[in-house]
Amino acid sequence: MSSPARQAPTIFSDELQAVAQALSPIQPQREISEVILRPALSSLGAVAGAVLLINAAQDKLELIARQGYEQDHKTIWQDGPLDRHIPAIHAMQRQEALFFEDSATLKAEYPQLEHETGALSPLASAVLPIVLNEQALGVLVLDFREPHDFSLAEKQFLNTLAVQCAVALDRSMRHARQLLGQQQQVRILESIGDAFYAVDHDWRFTYVNQRAEELWHRRREDLLGKSCWEEFPHAVGSEAYLAHLEAAQERQVVRVETRSRTLDAWIEMVVHPTPDGLSVYFKDISERKELETRSHDLTRMLERKVAERTRDLQDLNAELRAYAIAVARDLSEPMRRVDALMGLLERRLHDTMDERARALFTHLREEAKHVQRRMDELRLLAVLERRELTEELVALDQLVVQVRSDLEPLLKGRKVKWVLGTLPYITGDPMLLRQVFGELLAVSLDATKDTPGATIEVEGEGRDGQVVVWVRHNGLSLTAEEAQRYFEVFQVPSSFLGASERIGLANSRRIVTRHGGHVWAEAAPAGEAGALLFMALPDRLNAGGN
C-alpha cells in the first residue's frame, strides 16, 4: 500500500542537500539525530522515528533521540544489550537495512519481540544501520501508522541519511576526543611545576600556563595572540632568544641555562619545535645555581687546604727522612765500635771468664747487632719513597722460593713445614717485592719459633681485579686490635720477637702502597692458632681482559 506522502526523487535530493548543510557544523550526537529524523519522518510520511547508538563500552544500544512518540509511549526500540534477538541488532550485524512493509512480516520474523519489549509492533517500519568504515555505530528506525510499500528511491534516500548520520557522528566523536585530549593536556600543563608557553610561527603566544603567569606577573589574557618579543623586548638578543631561533630553524630541542633579564634570576629553559610553532618549558633555578656556586667555592677552598696540608706533610716527611737518616748514620758507627770493643774485651778476658760471663758477652754482641739491623731498617724506611719503582714481570712462586732460601740461616736447626700454593704472575719492582716477602716470612718464622710442627703456607689468587697473596702460620695468634695496627711502625707484638721490635712490616706496607696495593693482618679462624698476613696488588696483567 503506497503512502500519499511519498515524495519524488528530486525532492529527496533537495532534502539530502538540506541535511548536508544542517550537519556541516560539528554538533553533539543528539542534535545530529534530530537533524536526521526530521526529513526522514516528513519525506516518507512516517509517524515516528528514533536513533539508537552503541555506547562507549561497546556492550549496549542506547536511545539517543526520538520524534513523534508520546512522552511515556513504549516502543519496541529500547535500550539494551547487544546480544538480543531484535531487528536493530540484526541490522547492525548484517550491516544492511531491514524494511518491514507490514506488522505481519515483522511478527513473523520476530515472534517474541512484543513479549520481550512489552510494546506493540508498528504497522510498518524501516531499520537503517548507521555504519562507517564497516563499523556499526547504531541504527535509524522509522515507524508508520499503516502498511508501507518502500520504493527504491525511498530506500536509497534512507540509506543516504544513515550514511550522512554516520559521517556526522564520526566527526562529532573525533572532535569530542580531540577536546578531551586538549582538556587533559591543559590540565597537565596547569598542574606541572614548570612554567610553560607556546608560540606560533609568527612568535605569537597561543598558550600560557598559570605558573608562567606567576613568574612573569602577567595575565595570560593580556599575552595571548601577541608577539612574545614585543611583550618582552628586553629578551631580544639574549641566550633565551637565540635558543628560540635555533629550535625554530634547526627543528630540534634546545636546552639552555641562562640569566633571565625578565625575572632577574637564573632559569633552565627547554624549547621544543612543534608543527604549530614552539613549546617552551622553563623554571627558576636560582637556588640550585647558588648551591652550585657555594659548592664550587667550598671545593676550591678544600683544594687549597688539601694542597697546603700536602705541602706541610711533604715538608714534614722530608724532615723526618732527614732525621731518620741522621739518626741511623750517627748511631750506626758508635754501635759498630761498641761491638768491636766488646769483642776485644772478650778476647782479653777469655782465659779469666767463666761460662756465665761468656754468655753475657755473647748476648751483648747479639743485641748490638740487632740494634744495627734496626738502624739499617730505619735508614731504608727513610729512603724508600725516593727510590724509583721499576715495572717488571715477577713470578711470585720463584720469588718466594728465593726468599725462603735467604732465610735458611734463621732456622738454626728448626723443622718448619713450608706449603707453597699456586701463585700468579704480577708486575712490580722485584727487589722491593723481595723485601716484602722476606719480612712476611721472617715474622712468620719468629711467630712459630716455639711451635711444635710449625707450618707456614703461602698462597694467592686473582680477586676482583687484584692479585691477593697471603702468608699463614700456626704460631702465635693476634687480637683484633693487634691485627689492625700490625703493619704500623713498632707495632709488631713483642711476643713474636721476644723482647725486640721491628719496623720491617712498616717498610712492607710502604712498598705495597707504592705499588698501588694494600696490606692487612687477620687472626686465624676461631679454634685455630696462628695468623694470616695479606697483600693485595693491582692485577695489571689481566686488566681489560688481557
- Report whether 476 contacts 496 (CB < 8 A): yes
Lowest mean pLDDT among 34-48, 196-210, 494-508: 494-508
pLDDT at 189: 77
pLDDT at 545: 47
The candidate with the shortest Cα–Cα distance to 458, out of 505, 417, 403, 420, is 420
| Predicted confidence (pLDDT) per residue in 469-520, tens digit | 999 999 988 888 888 888 875 555 544 443 334 567 887 888 898 889 999 9
Q: What is the DSSP letter of 149?
A: -
pLDDT at 256: 94
pLDDT band, very low/low/confident/very high, at 3 (cuts 50, 70, 90): very low
* C-alpha–C-alpha distance, residues 28 and 11, integer Å: 27
Secondary structure of residue 118 in the 3-state scheme: coil
Beta strands in 121-208 (DSSP E): 124-132, 135-144, 195-200, 205-208
* C-alpha–C-alpha distance, residues 5 and 309, integer Å: 109
pLDDT at 8: 43
pLDDT surpassing 70 at residue 426 = yes
| Predicted confidence (pLDDT) per residue in 247-272, tens digit | 999 999 999 999 998 888 999 999 99
pLDDT band, very low/low/confident/very high, at 317 (cuts 50, 70, 90): low
Beta-carbon contacts of residue 121 (< 8 Å; ≥ 6 apart)? 76, 103, 106, 107, 113, 114
- Report whether 240 contacts 223 (CB < 8 A): no
pLDDT at 67: 93
* C-alpha–C-alpha distance, residues 541 and 424, integer Å: 10
Alpha-carbon torsion (211, 214, 219, 224), positive or negative? negative
Instruction: Name which residue leads in pLDDT, 323 or 470.
Output: 470
Provide the mean pLDDT of the chain: 85
Instruction: Name which residue leads in pLDDT, 449 or 369.
Output: 449
Look up residue 8 and give its three cell numbers: 519524488
| Predicted confidence (pLDDT) per residue in 288-306, tens digit | 999 988 999 898 899 888 8
pLDDT at 140: 95
Give pairs for 321-328: CB < 8 Å, separation 24+.
Answer: 321/382, 321/383, 321/385, 321/386, 322/382, 324/378, 324/379, 324/381, 324/382, 325/379, 325/382, 325/383, 327/375, 327/378, 328/375, 328/376, 328/378, 328/379, 328/382
Secondary structure of residue 471 in the 3-state scheme: strand
Secondary structure of residue 399 in the 3-state scheme: helix
* C-alpha–C-alpha distance, residues 52 and 79, integer Å: 8
CA-CA-CA-CA dihedral for 443, 446, 447, 452, to nearest 10: 140
pLDDT at 490: 53
* C-alpha–C-alpha distance, residues 391 and 399, integer Å: 15
Instruction: Name which residue leads in pLDDT, 127 or 338.
Output: 127
pLDDT at 269: 94
- Report whether 240 contacts 269 (CB < 8 A): yes
User: Can you tell me the mean pLDDT for 78-83?
Assistant: 90
pLDDT band, very low/low/confident/very high, at 337 (cuts 50, 70, 90): confident
Instruction: Name which residue leads in pLDDT, 75 or 383.
Output: 75
- Report whether 471 contacts 457 (CB < 8 A): yes
CA atoms within 13 A on the CB side of 269: 25
pLDDT at 52: 94
pLDDT at 4: 40
pLDDT band, very low/low/confident/very high, at 432 (cuts 50, 70, 90): confident
Sheet with 205-208, side-by-side order of all strands? 205-208, 195-200, 277-284, 265-274, 254-260
User: Can you tell me the mean pLDDT for 343-361?
Assistant: 80
CA atoms within 13 A on the CB side of 505: 25
Alpha-carbon torsion (378, 381, 386, 390), positive or negative? positive
* Number of helical (H) and strand (E) elements in the chain, helices listed first: 16, 18
Percent of the chain with pLDDT over 90: 49
| Predicted confidence (pLDDT) per residue in 376-422, tens digit | 666 665 555 556 778 899 999 999 999 998 888 878 778 999 999 98
| Predicted confidence (pLDDT) per residue in 274-285, tens digit | 999 999 999 999
User: Can you tell me the mean pLDDT for 35-40?
Assistant: 92
pLDDT at 470: 93
Give pairs for 282-286: CB < 8 Å, separation 24+.
Answer: 282/194, 282/195, 282/196, 282/212, 282/240, 283/193, 283/194, 283/195, 284/215, 285/257
Residue with cell 719459633: 449
* C-alpha–C-alpha distance, residues 112 and 83, integer Å: 15
Beta-carbon contacts of residue 361 (< 8 Å; ≥ 6 apart)? 342, 345, 346, 353
Look up residue 422 and give its three cell numbers: 699456586
Rg (CA), the chain: 51
| Predicted confidence (pLDDT) per residue in 178-190, tens digit | 777 777 777 877 8
The candidate with the shortest Cα–Cα distance to 211, out of 196, 200, 225, is 196
When mean pLDDT is compared over 22-26, 112-116, 196-200, the highest value belongs to 196-200
Beta strands in 230-389 (DSSP E): 254-260, 265-274, 277-284
**Cα–Cα separations (whole angstroms), residue 281 to 23, 237, 260:** 40, 19, 14
pLDDT band, very low/low/confident/very high, at 546 (cuts 50, 70, 90): very low
The candidate with the shortest Cα–Cα distance to 505, out of 457, 446, 449, is 446
Amino acid at 125: S
